[in-house]
Amino acid sequence: MKLGFFLREAVRAVRRSAAPSFAALATVLVTMLVLGVFIPIVQATDGAADTVRGRVEVDVYMQTSAGAADEVRVRRELLAVPHVHSVQFVSKQQAYAQQSKADPQAYELLGANPLPDTFHVIPDNPANVLAVRNALTPSGHTIDPAVQSVSDRRDDTRKILEVTNLVTITAAALTVLLTIASILLIANTIRLSLYSRRREVEVMKLVGASDWFIRWPFVIEGVVVGAAGALLAIAVLGVTKVALLDPLANNWTLIAAPRTIPFTALIVVLLVAGVAVSALGSGLSLRRFLRV
């Protein structure tokens, strides 16, 4: 049989069973809306956690008497430490300029510069920051006589890592649960729609129609319903983005917009998800009715 025949049968079935088809379409619409909102939220949450984790570093403070030769030697030693990705040097003059700009009145009273030369040590992975910190202070001593001290914020660092890890794991778990719930909800709604037409399937089966001859119109119907529901959800999300989110992002210039999936890619994801889940739900839910 040609594809046109199955397509005509699918469209005819949608018109004939308007109420069940509308219920399935509404379910796809609501589910895709939830996914369309949830995906950027999860990405923004993960991005915020990664930003916080990316700021985790180890500060190495130099002796006030350290010179240029000491700076070169200590930099080389720091880069040789395992799990060190990069090292940033901030001179006492740069640190004083930054701090005095933030609080000029307090630093005017000091008269002299109390800040030391500092190395900011960035680990290759935020999870390795404590290992780097321990490597810089073997046996309780600094790795070089020119180093005065190493920042000791183990508790704060450990709390940051624990919280960000919890956020990442929670977001991943919610994503999996929402995906499973979406599949089950759409499949169950399609199954109810097919239940109302079980007599039609039984008659076709009894007159000798093959399983795939019966199944293809339902699969195509699922594709049509899924695509329609996904397109409606995309339209709602697009209007919301243009009418609400874009003006807010332009007006709140002081608030950095989180990095999320581009809207074009989100359209593709929702469309593919709506079509795939509806088609699979139609094909798999029909199996029980083919056992005549």
3 state DSSP class of 121: strand
pLDDT confidence of residue 255: 47
Who's near 108: CB < 8 A, 6+ residues apart? 100
Beta bridge partners of 192: none
Amino acid found at 241: K
Six-digit token pair at 270? Answer: 């929702």
What phi and psi values does residue 137 have, to the nearest 5 degrees?
A: -130, 65
Using the Cα atoms of residue 181, residue 182, residue 186 and residue 189 in order, give the sign of their dihedral: positive
pLDDT confidence of residue 5: 64
pLDDT confidence of residue 254: 44
pLDDT confidence of residue 207: 76
Torsion, Cα 288 181 260 168, to 10 degrees, reads -130
Strands 58-62 and 118-123: antiparallel
Amino acid found at 106: A
Q: Which domains does the chain have, with CATH numbers?
A: 3-52+161-290 (no CATH), 56-153 (3.30.70.3040)
Q: Residue 282: which of 4, 5, 16, 20 has the closest Cα?
A: 20
pLDDT string in tens for the chain (292-residue length): 566 766 776 667 667 666 777 777 888 888 888 888 888 888 777 777 777 777 778 888 888 888 888 889 989 989 988 988 889 888 888 877 777 776 666 556 566 667 788 888 888 888 788 888 888 888 778 888 888 888 866 667 777 777 777 877 887 888 788 777 777 777 777 677 667 667 777 777 777 777 777 777 777 877 888 888 889 999 998 888 888 777 776 665 544 556 677 888 888 988 888 888 887 777 776 676 666 5
pLDDT confidence of residue 235: 92
**Using an 8 Å Cβ cutoff, are 21 and 217 in contact?**
no
Q: How far apart are CA 113 and CA 115, in angstroms?
A: 6
